[in-house]
A and B are shown apart, each in its own frame.
Chain A
Amino acid sequence: MVDKTEMLDELEKGPWPSFVSQIKEQAEKNPISRDLLRQLEQSYKDKKLYWRHGGVVGVWGYGSGMIGRYSARPDLFPGVAEFHTVRLNNPSGWFYNTKSLRQMCDIWEKYGSGLLYMHGMTGDILLLGTTTENLQPCFDELSSEASFDLGGSGPGIRTISCCVGPARCEWACYDTLDVTYDLTMTFQSEMHRPSLPHKFKIKCSGCPNDCVGAILRSDLPIIGTWRDTIQIDQEAVSEYINGGFDIVSYVINRCPTQCMRLTEKELGINDRECSRCMHCINVLPKALRPGKERGATILIGGKTQLVEGTIISSVLIPFIKLTPPYQEIKDLVNKIWDFWGEYARGRERVGEFIQRIGLGDFLEGMGIEPNPYMVAHPRENPHIKFEEYYREGD
């Protein structure tokens, strides 16, 4: 049994499933979980955390995938004296079968706290809390018996994640699951032996709805789109109208580019003006679908706050077709790593790097031609750094 947990007990009340109940259930049988519960109660009482600053841990042959964590009070909470995390690279789209998950659970029961995040913010399964001694045997079994491998950490490519894609979404404009798996397999060595200036994230969303938040959560978002015309099923449009759905108010008037028109129950779209925002397709899924000439827009530079502020990614390649083996993407990634790797300051994300040197110079380094799709508008100041001028006597 565990000590009294008056503060945490409050978080077992209420209808939403409780993480405290999850820890408590494990605490009945696992000493790591028991002391996690006790230490957490202490944190709640004192309003402060009881973890010491990180520490480097790992397994043979890998420079990433494990995060060291130590209790600041091992005297009081010996069970969490060492409480390291193991990051397991999630399968594309977070698809599993029960056999694989059960295997993973059995191994984690043997070597760790029995607690985990399904999933961490980058997408990995995070196995929460084990000892330094258990890391290697735990990893060996996860790898040899359950076929899992570690995800990324540190200054390298991180675990790639993607939306449900063509597995169950009619809007997927490319095979997000396959691109994710293919790139993950291609960059295994770079993921497990990080050597970039800072972390580098790729996320794959199948359409501009961007269900994995690629545009802000990754350095290199790959977001599906189409180049031709939205597919319209006029019969289905009529069905919506006859069913009493107010297409004018909810679709036509909300189109940001005002490129839609309804004439005698036929819906028309001026596709040259359409900005591929997805609104009409989202609202009329039975009648409208993305076009047939599908591919993706590749953006660059997204990141959250620290150090230079949050950056929303911006357009790098307006449209690209994505077919296996995705060589253009792999070449692009390698080119970015070479250029950024050579000229970045320490711990400078690629978005920060581009802000410092300017997108123009970055494109030059990449060998990509500037294109008006890359900017919201041209510059508003006259301080153009012309690179050529004539001298007297030229």
Chain B
Amino acid sequence: MEASPKARKLDIGPPDYRQFLHPVVKENYGQWKYHENLRPGVLVHVSETGAEIYTVRAGSPRLVNIDFVRRICDLADRYADGFLRFTSRNNIEFMLPNKENIDPLIAELEGMGIPVGGTGKIIHNMLHSQGWIHCHTPASADASGITKSVMDELYEYFTAKELPHRVKIAFACCTACCGGIFWSDIAILALHRRPPRVNHDYVWRVCEIPTTLASCPVTAIKPTYVDGKTSVTIDEDKCVYCGNCYSICSACEIIDPVNDVLSIWAGGKLANARSEPMLAKLVVPSLPSNPPRWPEVVSAVKNIVEVYAQNARKYERLGEWINRIGWPRFFELTGFEFTKYHIDDFKHAGQTYKKSVQLKF
């Protein structure tokens, strides 16, 4: 039944967050004095007033169902007076005024197969793009599956095992980089290796030619006529397989299960602590995409984590450690092969060449 449009309220905005703050949070708003990481996944925040709130952080697969949300709500009702929050990395946080509730809550979470962890110098919950679940442009790899496979392998680093500093991992299934990968300590990015195949029967029907031309970062696309219809051609020498034209014009088919690969990046950092934010750099240009568990990718990521764990100093983020030891040493320690593809040849590429003789042998 169509309600009358006039009866509808527009632009009410999101619910006001104030109603969602636990009374202890509300009373001590802006008055927190310090906090401590009691164990992975458990924090205590102490207020100027002496009040305390205990936070239990639990990992989630991000893609959840309504019954999962309801079960989480049951726990929040039982242990946190009906309040809960989520973090920017898809964890669930329960804030408990009562210390006695920590252990029973953790026991229940663990009984439900939900890991407690993700605080302090450990591996954080992975961020990822949408992949085959819901996106129309991913290269031939699935975001949720790779995330699950990597987190399974690194599970103990989320729940218990301390590292020199925190490690943030992300996955993106195309160069749109929805997973926010370039500021991650370790990133996995699916890439194409072959120019798009243009379907000339289709371009004139589904694509706006000027936006398609403008979408290309290297001006590889030119307008043309094929059998009297407007279409585009792609200069294969110029194309860098970014797939942006495909996201604009579906007749520029670029997804290719035979050729698409997974690349690994390392050393990104977003916080300003010690060093300034920096972008991740390429460490492995291409690994095969092997569903359902992507073993090659998982072992490359684990390799980086383990080498970092053994070699970095305390409070040194992955990228800071690499900057200290130098990239030649990183490739030596990890055993990754350094190839021509590691050398930038895009815009302003020359800025990344080594311009001194300060070399460690």
A residues neighboring B (CB under 8 Å)? 7-8, 10-11, 13-20, 22-23, 25-26, 33, 36, 40, 43-44, 46-54, 60-62, 69, 83, 85, 88-102, 105, 108-109, 114-119, 121, 123, 128-129, 136, 140, 143-144, 147-149, 161, 163-164, 166-170, 172, 175, 177, 181, 184-185, 188-189, 192, 208-213, 215-217, 250, 254-256, 276-279, 282-283, 285-286, 289, 304-310, 312, 345-347
19 A-B pairs (CB sep. < 8 Å) = A15-B155, A22-B64, A44-B145, A44-B291, A60-B5, A95-B83, A96-B83, A115-B64, A116-B64, A116-B65, A121-B127, A147-B12, A169-B35, A170-B35, A175-B30, A216-B270, A217-B183, A250-B315, A307-B215
Which 7 A/B pairs are nearest by Cβ-Cβ distance?
A14-B152, A53-B250, A208-B272, A98-B73, A92-B17, A188-B11, A166-B30
Inter-subunit contact B289/A47 (CB<8 Å):
yes
Residue from A23, A88, A97 with most neighbouring chain B CB atoms (10 Å): A97
Residue from A26, A61, A188, A216 with most neighbouring chain B CB atoms (10 Å): A216
Inter-subunit contact B155/A305 (CB<8 Å):
no
In angstroms, Cα B314 to Cα A279, docked, is: 12
In angstroms, how far is the closest chain A Cβ from the Cβ of B301?
14
Whether B196 sits at the interface, judged by CB under 8 Å, is no
Whether B352 sits at the interface, judged by CB under 8 Å, is no
In angstroms, Cα B213 to Cα A341, docked, is: 21
Query: Please, which residues of chain A bring their CB within 8 A of the CB of B12?
Result: 143, 147, 149
With A166-B30, A279-B315 given, is the CB distance from A97 to B62 under 8 Å? Answer: no
Identify which of B13, B90, B148 contacts A119 (C-beta below 8 A). B90
Inter-subunit contact B95/A16 (CB<8 Å):
no
Closest A residue, CB atoms, query B73:
A98
With A121-B179, A149-B13, A309-B346 given, is the CB distance from A23 to B85 under 8 Å? Answer: no
With A97-B19, A216-B183 given, is the CB distance from A114 to B14 under 8 Å? Answer: no
In angstroms, how far is the closest chain B Cβ from the Cβ of A280?
9
Query: Please, which residues of chain A bring their CB within 8 A of the CB of B129?
Result: 121
In angstroms, Cα B8 to Cα A308, docked, is: 41
Identify which of B13, B14, B84 contacts A98 (C-beta below 8 A). B84
Inter-subunit contact A192/B11 (CB<8 Å):
yes
Inter-subunit contact B63/A23 (CB<8 Å):
yes
Whether B231 sits at the interface, judged by CB under 8 Å, is no
In angstroms, how far is the closest chain B Cβ from the Cβ of A25?
6
Query: Please, which residues of chain A bring their CB within 8 A of the CB of B357?
Result: none
With A95-B85, A209-B272 given, is the CB distance from A46 to B257 under 8 Å? Answer: yes
Given contact pairs A25-B68, A147-B15, A215-B270, enumerate 10 new A-B contacts (beta carbons under 8 Å). A23-B63, A48-B255, A91-B17, A105-B69, A119-B86, A129-B134, A140-B3, A210-B270, A254-B274, A285-B34
In angstroms, how far is the closest chain A Cβ from the Cβ of B70?
6
Inter-subunit contact B17/A306 (CB<8 Å):
no
Q: How large is the interface on B (under 10, 10 to 19, 20 to 34, 35 or more residues)?
A: 35 or more
| Residue interface mask B8-49, A partner, CB < 8 A = 1 | 111111111101110001000110111110000000010000
Query: Please, which residues of chain A bring their CB within 8 A of the CB of B55?
Result: 168
In angstroms, Cα B63 to Cα A8, docked, is: 14
Identify which of A16, A136, A140 contacts B151 (C-beta below 8 A). A16
In angstroms, how far is the closest chain A Cβ from the Cβ of B221?
12
| Residue interface mask B262-292, A partner, CB < 8 A = 1 | 0000000011111101010000000001011
Residue from B17, B66, B289, B315 with most neighbouring chain A CB atoms (10 Å): B66
Residue from B73, B151, B247 with most neighbouring chain A CB atoms (10 Å): B73
Inter-subunit contact B13/A188 (CB<8 Å):
yes
Closest A residue, CB atoms, query B74:
A98
With A16-B148, A277-B273 given, is the CB distance from A312 to B279 under 8 Å? Answer: yes
In angstroms, Cα B12 to Cα A140, docked, is: 12
